[in-house]
Amino acid sequence: MNVRRSGNGSSHLSPLHGSSVATDRSILKEDAFRRMISLERKRSERSRKPFVLMLLDMGELHPTEHSRQALRKVATALSINARETDLTGWYTDDCCVGVMFTEIGFTDRSATLSTMITRVSNTLRGALTSEEFSEVSISFHVFPEDWDNDADDRQNNPTLYPDLTEREESRKIYRVTKRAMDIAGSLAALVLLSPLFLLIALAVKATSKGPILFRQRRIGQHGESFTFLKFRSMYVGNDASIHREYVKQLIAGKAEKNSNGKREGVYKLTKDPRVTRVGGFLRKTSLDEIPQFLNVLRGEMSLVGPRPPVPYEVEAYDFWHRRRVLEAKPGITGLWQIKGRSRVKFDDMVRLDLQYARTWSPWLDVKILLRTPGAIVIGEGAH
């Protein structure tokens, strides 16, 4: 038996009973089991009680009838011995069996996983021949995952998000269309705005010391990082702690609206001493974002999508906030820019991002792009 771990977890609970007890509990089919993984993820985000997904297969890309029969025995044995609160089903019908151990309490992670492995092994030995048992491969996947915001590669475990994978597959044609729109739109914007690009570059360079472009590490889709480009709007060598502290307060729902010269105010730093005079104008008009068309052209961003966060923002996220960087590629504009911008609270911004991720289509992107210039001209929520 081979054992693989993705993340690690521990429990105050006994994931499997010590003895077999007859039960009429059903083994969920693939669609139902994967749907329950999605629901359990969302429940865990709110309750903050982790769960462990255990997957078992025979290590074969093309299962034989023998391996299918063995896995059916595995599924039956695990279903009989699992707690009533756990779920057993087919992660992939007749190819991979899954058990979801819900509401796991973390203490000694390694010890609990070892206990789980021992109990699963004992259960399988009673259901399989020694030859079948030696062919079983087990992997453990813990949710919520521990994200390393200093890492550049993918942060989420796709095994825990089968619904997102299926959603992406069902939108394959849409995704090709979206990428074509991104390439054509970013190329057109860079060509048409090249004179303005030059004027802004000269203004930035002439009015303050430092580079023309501001480069910053941002978190993209699936937690992958990339270098984000903007026209520099701040003085060089400024203290980022001002913004870091405000972001923490904003995400926690404790930030107060700041005056932007209008009655409604904005959830954003105003009168920021780090911003140059030219930078203030660029931010107000969103002209500082023109270089992001290069990010779009490189495939790191899209024309439409959630705004990409800085790493210290992601560190302050609640678990459910992470979905905004998992479910859609970041963009230059989006529902937040045309419906609320900095006038809405952070949680409401995340909800708009998730609404976009669920409902996006090329036509929705076109409508958002057409409404964006008007939102910029009106300038509501901008600063």
Q: What is the dihedral of CA 188, 193, 198, 200, to 10 degrees?
A: -130
Alpha-carbon distances of 311 from 24, 143, 236, rounded to whole Å? 48, 20, 20
Helices (H), ranges, 224-321: 241-251, 277-285, 292-297, 311-315
Q: What is the pLDDT of residues 179-201, one digit of tens each?
A: 999 999 999 999 999 999 999 99
- How many residues are recorded in the chain? 383
Token digits for 324? Answer: 């905004």
Which has the higher per-residue pLDDT, 15 or 306? Answer: 306
Name the one residue in this structure whose structure tokens are 């089919």. Answer: 29
Token digits for 11? Answer: 């429990």
Give the C-alpha separation, 34 to 92, whole Å: 9
pLDDT of residue 178: 96
Reply yes or no on domain 2-144 having CATH 3.30.70.20. no
Q: What is the pLDDT of residues 322-338, one digit of tens each?
A: 999 999 999 999 998 88
The per-residue DSSP string of 161-177 comes to -HHHHHHHHHTHHHHHH
Residues of the chain above pLDDT 90, percent: 50
Q: What is the pLDDT of residues 7-59, one digit of tens each?
A: 544 334 445 554 444 444 689 999 999 999 999 999 999 888 889 999 999 87
Please confirm whether the linkage preceding 144 is cis (ω < 30° from 0). yes
255 falls in which pLDDT band (50, 70, 90)? low
Name the one residue in this structure whose structure tokens are 């011995």. Answer: 81
Q: Where are the domains of the chain?
A: 2-144, 165-378
* Mean pLDDT, residues 119-144: 88
Token digits for 95? Answer: 């190819």
* Mean pLDDT, residues 129-146: 89
pTM score of the predicted model? 0.83
Give the C-alpha separation, 187 to 174, whole Å: 20
Token digits for 78? Answer: 């695990």
Give the C-alpha separation, 223 to 201, whole Å: 31
Which has the higher per-residue pLDDT, 371 or 8? Answer: 371
